[in-house]
Amino acid sequence: MRWTFACAATAAALLVTSATHIPARAEAPGEVNIYSYRQPYLIEPLLEEFSAETGIKTNVIFAEKGLIERIQAEGRNSPADLLLTTDIGNLSQAVASGISQPVTSATIDESIPASYRGTDDEWIGLTRRARVVYASKDRVEQNSITYEELADPKWRGKICIRSGQHPYNVALVASMIAHLGPDETETWLRGVKANLARKPAGNDRLQVKGVYAGECDLAIGNTYYMGKMLTDEDHPEQKEWAESVKMLFPNTNGRGTHVNVSGVVLAKNAPNKDNALKLIEFLASDTGQNMYAEVNHEYPTKDGVPWSDLVESWGTFKADPISLNEIAELRKAASEMIDKVGFDDGPSS
């Protein structure tokens, strides 16, 4: 598959497979047009397998931002059949923006639990990732932790985290509001802020690097980054970062660890709706879910699909059973709270 062109509309890299452009309306049978927030290397193997099994060609545009707005602007003439997204924030935004339609499929209903689907099946969760604590093997003795404990003064100056306004952290704070209520969550968030080693910055991998470098003892990140650091041949130094930490699943002895999803939305004006449904069903099938698990080091959303050996080595955990639809409803309140406490200003503000 080739990823070939850039889109000025989103000021982000755009990549296309199997064509130099996506036509305004796909006329030839056997195609599906995908707009993707998921990076190419994460989805390319699955799309190649889908095409091999079905003969359906996949045309893909990738961008880091702006795809939802682009589909809105394209309106009825949008060539988009599917939107692949990275978290519940983008999924809920896509639905709220009016670019989606319900996925009507008995196969999907049987494969994906309701807690990982939109209220009206207007988004479908395809993979799970837990928001965990990466703890220094050398400096942290305990082997269990809770999210609440991250506000304990014993961790003063010892926590690294990316921006509070990143969708992964907004969803985490939203889950805390769901469980603790707004007042207690605000107190907790101020406590976590006071315990930061520095201003929030960088991505999840760089938080683990902070632990490796001794800048902090705990880092907050998604599980699949561990897999990427351990297997990234282009950045072998990251294996050392990963091997310096142990993964702690917060609250696994209680309500469970916060879990987010990547997922897919069926575009409202999908010109190749039947093929789009076939692709969603493939991604939710045993084959698709196994490939996600092996290639991307993520947890399947379909029950009964085994984890990869690497993911299995991290240990079992209890997932918070709260519906992501509830998390989505609380994201606005969470984002406002993050700004209210000045989280991204760092610990001394």
Measure CA of the first residue to CA of the last residue in the chain; give whole Å.
48
Q: Using CA atoms of 50, 262, 200, 14 in order, give the dihedral in degrees to the nearest 10.
A: 40
Of the candidates 290, 316, 312, which has an alpha carbon nearest to the alpha carbon of residue 301?
290
DSSP 56: -
Distance of CA 223 to the CA centre of its chain: 10
Distances from the Cα of 168 to the Cα of 44, 61, 89, 111, 210, angstroms: 23, 23, 8, 25, 19
Distance CA 203, CA 235 (A): 15
For residue 112, what are its two tokens?
């994906």
Q: Is 212 annotated as a binding-site member?
A: no
- Residue that has been written with the tokens 């789009």 in this structure: 276
Neighbouring residues of 299: CB distance < 8 A, sequence distance ≥ 6: 127, 128, 129, 130, 223, 259, 293, 307, 311
128, 260 Cβ separation under 8 angstroms: yes
Task: Give the strand pairing for 31-36 and 82-85.
Answer: parallel
Q: Is 225 annotated as a binding-site member?
A: yes
85, 263 Cβ separation under 8 angstroms: yes
Residues comprising the binding site for Fe cation?
A: 224-225
Residues comprising the binding site?
A: 224-225
